[in-house]
Each structure stands twice: as structure tokens, then as C-alpha cells.
Amino acid sequence: MMKTTAARRNPNRIRQRRGEAVFEVIVFIVLTLIILFLVYPFYNCLILAFNDGQDALNPGIYLYPRMFSMENILKAVQIEGMASAAFMSVTRTIIGTVLSILVCAMFGYAVSKPGLKLRSLYMVIAMIPMFFSGGMIPSFLNIRNLGLYDNFLVYILPTLFSTFYAIIFLATYREVPPSLEESAILDGANQFTIFYRIIMPISKPTIAAISVFTAVGHWNSWMDTMLYTGKKTINTLAYMFSRLIFQTQYLQSLMESSDNEIGMKLYGATSTSIMVGAMVIATLPIAIIYPFFQKHFAKGVMIGSIKG
């Protein structure tokens, strides 16, 4: 009502609202283009993975598989070392996430107590590595000196503590009213019992958010495998892909340069398709799980940003 009277009184207002409608349409179109830019590359790989490898030699597969085939996916699972690498990735993700959450949450909880002795010293010790680190080579030599080279624990131990996540826990635990713990303290419970029985259950949303970040970090990490391991038995999935890149580039140069040798070309084409199949398999767990965790990590980022 108010708007219409204002519009009648002022013809500029109508022009302005028409301008706003145009503005909205432009925003909508630009956003849609951005989303296409973000999502289409994955979709492109998805349809290539489900297309026959030889057929994919010819361009033109952009919207749906031209020659549907499950062969790439089935062969990708059988790539040598892929199954054991997947097992390693799953194992390190689960063990690493659980332990890292425990270490960060306990630190955050203890430091959230104002009466903690040496509290500010602990905070300084935790903050400095955020701004300065030894760098790649000293870390590499350190891992060797500690006897962790080629050891599965090299995936777990160095990443156990993250200052950033500990601060998010600290911010969460500061909000916990002391009255919650008082009755437990009167019952003679120690802090470990309180932490496990009272604190952990009420901080479930924060734990969920940080678990997602930590788990994704573990699942995607490939540099530690490259730097700190030499034997193939503890290869991880992400590391396998970092090696595939060089292979794919090589195969493609093979395909481009060997116009006459049909056999080579076909070999290159089918191998590339199998690799694309493997990439799709490795991405799928994240794509499937992440809509469920979406609200948690959005919340986690917000807690982190408020405390900054």
C-alpha cells in the first residue's frame, strides 16, 4: 500500500523499481553462469567416465555419455595399488580425525579455564607456528630423525594439533555455563570425566563441524605421502592421483603426436578414460557425504570467523 502511494506520488520511484528488476535479472544470470563454471567441470568428468574409452577419442561428449559403458569404472577399481591406497586413505582419515579432535578439544577445554596455570604460555606456544614454520626441508629431516619416515604414524601424528581448530573449541567452551559442571565437581569427578560426560555431548555441533574439516583434510592430503614415504604399501588415494597427472599428460602427448599409430592412440584413449573413472570414484564419497554435513561446516566457519 505504502509503496504504491509513494510510486504514484513520485514517477522516479517507478523507474527505480524497473531498474531494480533489471538488476535482479542480471544478478540471476551472472550467478547461474558462475555456478555452471563451478559445477560443469565435474559433470564433464562424470560423463566421460561413463563413456566408452575408444569413442571418447572423438570430441563432442559435453552433455551426456554418447556410448554408455561401465567398463572404465570397473577397470579403475582394478588399477594396481588402488584398493590398498583407498584402504590407507580411509584408515588415516578415521584414526586421524578421531585423535585430532580429542587433542584439539582437550586443549581448547583446558585453556578455556581462566584458572589454568601457565595458560598464557600455552597460548603463545600454540600461536607462534601459525605465523612461522621451519619449512619443508627441516620438517623432512625432522621426520627422518624421529624415525617416522615410511611409517603409517607420519599421517597421524604431525597433524594431531591445529591451533585454528583449538581456538574454535576454546570459543565454544567459553560459552559453557560453569553451573553445568558444578554438581559433577561436588561428586568428586575429575576433569576427564566431566569432559567426556558433560562437555563433549554439549559441543556436538562444533565437533561435527571440525570433524568434517579434519576428515576432508586427511582424505585430500597427498604431500605428506610424497615427502615422508617411499614404499608403496602406505600410498594414499590422493597421492595416487598426483602421480596420475604426469601419466595423463604423457598419454595425451602420445595421442596427439601419434596420428598414424592407431594402436597407441587407442591405448592412450582407453587409459585416460579409466583414470577419469578412478577420479570420479575418488570424488564421489565427498560429493555424496557433503550435503549432509553442509550445515555443520557452515556453522563451524561462522564460529571461527566471529572469534577470528
In the region spanning residues 30 to 69, those forming contacts with other proteins, defined by CB under 8 A, are 30-32, 34-35, 37-42, 44-45, 48, 56-62
Query: DSSP label at 188?
Result: T
The residue (of 35 and 74) whose beta carbon lies closer to other proteins is 35
In the complex, least distance from residue 102 CB atom to other proteins, rounded to whole angstroms: 8
The least CB distance from residue 78 to other proteins, in Å, is 18
Shortest gap between Cβ of 135 and other proteins (angstroms)?
A: 3
List the Cα angle 30/31/37 in 5-degree steps: 90
Interface with other proteins includes 83 (CB under 8 A)? no
Positions 92 through 151 that interact with other proteins (CB under 8 A):
102-104, 106-107, 109-111, 113, 115-118, 122, 125-126, 128-129, 131-142, 145-146
Element (H, E) at 7: helix 2-9
Alpha helix stretches (DSSP H) within the chain: 2-9, 11-49, 71-77, 82-111, 119-131, 136-145, 163-174, 179-186, 191-194, 200-202, 204-220, 223-228, 237-257, 262-307
> What does the alpha-carbon distance between residue 148 and residue 228 come to, in Å, rounded to a whole number?
8
Q: How far is the CB of 153 from other proteins (least distance, A)?
A: 11
Q: Pick the stretch among 71-79, 177-185, 200-208, 285-293 that binds other proteins (CB under 8 A).
A: 285-293
Residue 275's nearest CA partner among 57, 54, 77 is 77
Q: Does 161 sit near other proteins (CB under 8 A)?
A: yes
User: Applying CB under 8 A, does 242 fall inside the site for other proteins?
Assistant: yes
